[in-house]
Amino acid sequence: MNQMIQPFVKLITLLVALLGLAVALVGVVGFVLFLSYSGVQLPSLTEKDQPVPESIAEIPVVKALAEAASLWKAPDWATVDGEPNADEIKYGRELVANTSEFLGPKGKVKAISNGMNCQNCHLQAGTAPLGNNYGAVAATYPKFRARSGTEETIEKRINDCFERSLNGEALENNSKEMRAMVAYIKWVGKDVPKGEVPKGSGLYEVPLLDRAADPIKGKLVYDNQCASCHQADGKGMPKPDGTGYLYPPLWGENSYNHGAGLYRLSRFAGYVKANMPLGASFENPMLSDEEAWDLAAYVNSMERPAKDLSKDWPDISKKPMDHPFGPFSDEFTEEQHKFGPFKPIQAAKAQTK
């Protein structure tokens, strides 16, 4: 009888042990699951080194150069028909937007300019905020300008652009084209009180660097950001009919000469900072301050037409910090006046005032 009971007792003991082991395993698994869901990091069961997660680089926040609501805004073009000289104003706008068609190398009125349009420098026909616009022209002209040492009219200012930026010839003051351009520019600034310069007129002022602008770094910016439109050789993209450019030349025989405003690095840097490359704006700038300065240094290091500047700046003490041609009233070199650093020049000018 005892011999029959002993195997049964062993079987019961084995079953109890297995049941206890199963309960223990369930407890362990449950405890692990509890820790996992509680956010506790468990050690790896393998000896193999686990890769350390790489930190994700923060995407820089693009900061607008100005609040759109605070800037000058051009009159609504839809209202121009209410003006007594509407046709003249409309013709003036056409001349600004499509200068080459009328006054370029194949111009249907005259051939007196290089194929660029006024709009290439004065964006949206001179109405873009911080796009070298005409917002302050009617309110501030006639005015004394140190470059010529004389009081200048709007007509003189327009002809400066023809002779410098368009590397061409002056228009006659009483010509139909000159009258139309003046009418348009006056209309653009008609709501600005006399003597005032509204915020957003002209160009953005890029903060000065602590170093000289670097043409070599600027070439990298140009190749990456500009060459697709203005071409690797800087000669721009001509229209198929040869009447002008889809994208203007930035250097070479058909670009602006070295008497143009954009030949000064501060002007070029301000222009591209707020408006270039294609798709950029003052609300969404794409270039850093350093890139804007270096790009300006590269573009303005390239060959372009020359102009007789011997009558410019009769008072040499009035030359701006980045006018690159001597003589100067200070001891800084032509190279520093062209590329910087400009802070020492600016400080020296401040001391002489």
pLDDT digits (tens, 9 = 90+) for 46-58: 444 545 545 554 5
- Summarize the confidence of residues 244-269 as an average pLDDT: 97
pLDDT digits (tens, 9 = 90+) for 134-169: 999 999 999 999 999 999 999 999 999 999 999 999
How many CB atoms lie under 10 A from the CB of residue 340? 25
Cα–Cα distance for residue pair 353/346, rounded to 1 Å = 11
pLDDT digits (tens, 9 = 90+) for 291-348: 999 999 999 999 999 999 999 999 999 999 999 999 999 999 999 999 999 999 999 9
Cα–Cα distance for residue pair 307/287, rounded to 1 Å = 30
pLDDT exceeds 50 at position 72: yes
Helix (H) or strand (E) segment spanning residue 170? none
Q: What are the b/e assignments for 26-64, b being 16+ CB within 10 Å?
A: eeeeeeeeeeeeeeeeeeeeeeeeeeeeeeeeeeeeeee
Helix (H) or strand (E) segment spanning residue 324? none
Quickly state the pLDDT bin for 15 (edges 50, 70, 90): low
Whether the CB-CB separation of 316 and 328 falls below 8 Å is answered with yes
For residue 50, the 8-state DSSP code is: P
pTM of the model: 0.82
Cα–Cα distance for residue pair 74/187, rounded to 1 Å = 9
- Please name the amino acid found at residue 251: W
- Summarize the confidence of residues 111-130 as an average pLDDT: 97
